């Protein structure tokens, strides 16, 4: 497989499993690399930016997205497929009173197809443990200070479920179209470690 080795115990187990499957002739490493390269070539935070911009400009799409993101994504030519298993995407909306942030406490589960490759800090044990126990402090370290009255909800991704934050639409952007709005969204905004 790839030369980009992750030293985590899970990554080591995956490499061991790949080696056994290759040995038994059940897996062709070159074919697996081709599939992964094709998938990652399409994986970009620009996909998530488009989803958010559409939700900000189309209330019906937003309602469908919040109710069942997997069914809404194909409207934009997107999906949560690409692997052996389709993950369920949950989109959680930031409001005036609630701010959402995502994490994967077990490893680094993440909606790659919509957010692109995960940032290094997202995979770090420090982020994974501290955002759950001290989310307000972690967000402040990212430069995001929220009022004490704002409830912070932390969503823990796993093998079956991924999360994406629908940030609040910035004030004064009512005149902007989808493309201009998409340009204002950031990957950290989709994770919840930044406002947009």
Q: How far apart are the first and last CA of the chain?
A: 37
Nearest CA among 97, 109, 88 for reference residue 161: 88
Residue 108 annotated as binding site: yes
Whether 118 is a known active-site residue: answer no
Whether the CB-CB separation of 159 and 91 falls below 8 Å is answered with no
Nearest to 117 by CA among 12, 15, 2, 20: 2
161 is annotated as contributing to ligand binding: no
Choose the catalytic residue: 44, 107, 118, 161: 107
Q: Rounded CA gap, 49 and 167, in Å?
A: 10
Q: Looking at 2, 79, 108, 124, which residue is catalytic?
A: 108
Q: Is 109 annotated as a binding residue?
A: yes
Catalytic (active site) residue 108: yes
Residue among 104, 113, 124, 161 flagged as catalytic? 104
- Does the annotation count 107 as an active-site position? yes
Which among 2, 8, 79, 109 is annotated as catalytic? 109
Q: Is 104 a catalytic residue?
A: yes
Is 133 one of the annotated binding-site residues?
no
State whether residue 12 is helix, strand or coil. Answer: helix
Residues comprising the binding site? 104, 107-109
Active site residues: 104, 107-109
Residues comprising the binding site for Fe(3+)? 104, 107-109
């Amino acid at each position: 497989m790839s030369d980009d080795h992750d030293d985590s115990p899970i990554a080591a187990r995956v490499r061991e499993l790949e080696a056994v499957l290759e040995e038994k002739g059940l897996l062709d490493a070159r074919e697996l690399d081709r599939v992964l390269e094709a998938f990652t070539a399409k994986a970009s935070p620009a996909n998530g930016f488009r989803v958010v911009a559409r939700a900000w400009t189309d209330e019906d799409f937003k309602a469908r997205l919040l109710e069942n993101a997997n069914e809404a994504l194909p409207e934009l030519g997107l999906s949560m497929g690409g692997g052996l298993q389709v993950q369920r995407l949950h989109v959680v909306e930031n409001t005036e009173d609630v701010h959402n942030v995502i994490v994967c406490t077990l490893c680094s589960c993440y909606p790659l197809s919509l957010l692109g490759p995960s940032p290094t800090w997202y995979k770090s044990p420090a982020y994974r443990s501290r955002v759950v126990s001290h989310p307000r402090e972690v967000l402040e370290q990212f430069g995001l200070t929220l009022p004490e009255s704002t409830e912070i909800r932390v969503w823990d991704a796993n093998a079956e479920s991924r999360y994406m934050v629908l940030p609040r639409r910035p004030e004064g952007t009512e005149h902007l179209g989808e493309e201009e709005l998409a340009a204002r969204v950031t990957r950290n905004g989709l994770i919840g470690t930044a406002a947009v």
